[in-house]
Structure 1
């Protein structure tokens, strides 16, 4: 018999480095998700990966043994598309990125174009060439708003890191003198959208991630509780470099003590 009950909380869970690493689930992540389901604790997967659709990501998790519905995932591409649709319904965008970003924009009524765009939207990807950058620079110079799905300078891969959205958009910023507006973590736009998706108040929301300058920073700025897990690429000594701190540091999801979000049943 379980002697604990959960407080009214919900979890925003980063994916790469928290749930899985490469093509393998991180030890303890499946058990942690099972515990949340057992106690009806809401959760949402949150990722700054704009390349894949949430259906793609849900299938990846399911094939790893963690059955997941697409609705349980919020990507920075979806957050960006929703934000742009709210600001300019039926707007147009020149896109640097891959299918996940283009599909999200299409679903939210933003038309992808090659010229006369309202927005230049930059995500990450491996098919980007200098011609894309050149066209983006010209469109921004003509007045298109520069939007970044996120400002991560690198992306982790099985072979190591590669340039991320932040590195790509930096070229356009440098050439135009225009600073991009970013929607992904740690932006309040995505962090607030995620909290509202699981229907919780600020003080009920816990962000779990493996990166200080996106996951933990986003949580601190929004007033959420935060957990830094060391199962990704951040080491405990790295935390000393930052003025802000997570509420908890754990080895992995499996290392988060129940007392952090569960309370003893009254006698």
Structure 2
């Protein structure tokens, strides 16, 4: 959402009008985030404080997707976690027990609480057979103070140390995208992915067969598009510049469903 709905602690101009339009037209939606630090309730509270109408059910996080994935793969699983409250809460909610030893999985999110002792423990657990899971592949995270290492950077260190490749659940993985789509109760052909990052938002949408909208209010700039073999269906300055015909086509699909 950072770069699409807000930047840091500032709402992107027109984002409130965009969300209000979705509600007015009866178009179901979810706010997707590859940040596993906060719970969906925490994210909704931030959006409300920025001036948007939002509740927890409007939010879908990579922590939620990861927890649901693990619960489906191995009911009653155990996990050693490198991450923060949002990830731990999602795991507990889905019946995954957080442990320090004998873990079925090593699950990595982002945050500032990581220590080298945690990395050492994770390496040993992976060597003993724990499977390595990443909540998302993002190598960096934007902050008000600048860029900091993200989940992908931490996971890369574990992959290098163990020779094991992590399975990533968050965008652009179809695992997270399909879960969010199922919550909306819509088909892929009726789904639109709006994002500011080609490597996650747009790639994930293209892979799922969604219509895709790249907004230029965040990570990807128009002069960078030549680097990619795939392209979004629409390119707009921000969510405040969504084409009317896209609203109309989506509303018609919702009505037909």
Which has more helix, going by share of residues? 2
1:136 to 122, 133, 137: 122
State the distance in 2 between where 1:260 and 1:168 align. 39
Give the aligned partner of residue 201 of structure 2: 215
2:168 counterpart of 1:177: no
Give the aligned partner of residue 3 of structure 1: none
Give the aligned partner of residue 11 of structure 2: 25
Map Cα deviations across residues 58-98 of structure 1 (whole Å, 9 max, x no partner).
00000111021101100000000000000111110000000
Map Cα deviations across residues 191-230 of structure 1 (whole Å, 9 max, x no partner).
1111111010010000000000000000011100100001
2:104 to 118, 121, 135: 118
State the distance in 2 between where 1:40 and 1:260 align. 14
State the distance in 1 between where 2:22 and 2:246 align. 13
Any idea what SS the aligned residue of 2:186 has? Answer: coil
State the distance in 2 between where 1:196 and 1:222 align. 13
Alignment of 1:5-16 (within 5 A): 15-16=1-2
State the distance in 1 between where 2:49 and 2:206 align. 33
Give the aligned partner of residue 246 of structure 2: 260
State the distance in 2 between where 1:41 and 1:147 align. 33
State the distance in 1 between where 2:40 and 2:34 align. 12
State the distance in 2 between where 1:238 and 1:199 align. 34
Structure 1 residue 52: Cα displacement: 0.6
State the distance in 1 between where 2:29 and 2:77 align. 31
Any idea what SS the aligned residue of 1:43 has? Answer: coil
Give the aligned partner of residue 232 of structure 2: 246
State the distance in 2 between where 1:199 and 1:161 align. 36
Give the aligned partner of residue 9 of structure 1: none
Structure 1 residue 239: Cα displacement: 1.1
Gapped regions of structure 2 (runs ≥ 5): 253-257
State the distance in 2 between where 1:68 and 1:255 align. 21
Structure 1 residue 157: Cα displacement: 0.2
Any idea what SS the aligned residue of 2:148 has? Answer: strand
Give the aligned partner of residue 206 of structure 1: 192
Structure 1 residue 247: Cα displacement: 0.3
Give the aligned partner of residue 65 of structure 1: 51
Give the aligned partner of residue 34 of structure 2: 48
Which has more strand, going by share of residues? 1
State the distance in 1 between where 2:72 and 2:222 align. 39
Structure 1 residue 258: Cα displacement: 1.1
Greater length-normalized contact order (CA 8 Å, ≥ 6 residues apart): 1
Any idea what SS the aligned residue of 1:262 has? Answer: helix
Gapped regions of structure 1 (runs ≥ 5): 1-14
Structure 1 residue 261: Cα displacement: 2.9
What is the alpha-carbon root mean square deviation over aligned residues? 1.1
TM value normalised by structure 2: 0.96
Structure 1 residue 233: Cα displacement: 2.0
State the distance in 1 between where 2:61 and 2:224 align. 26
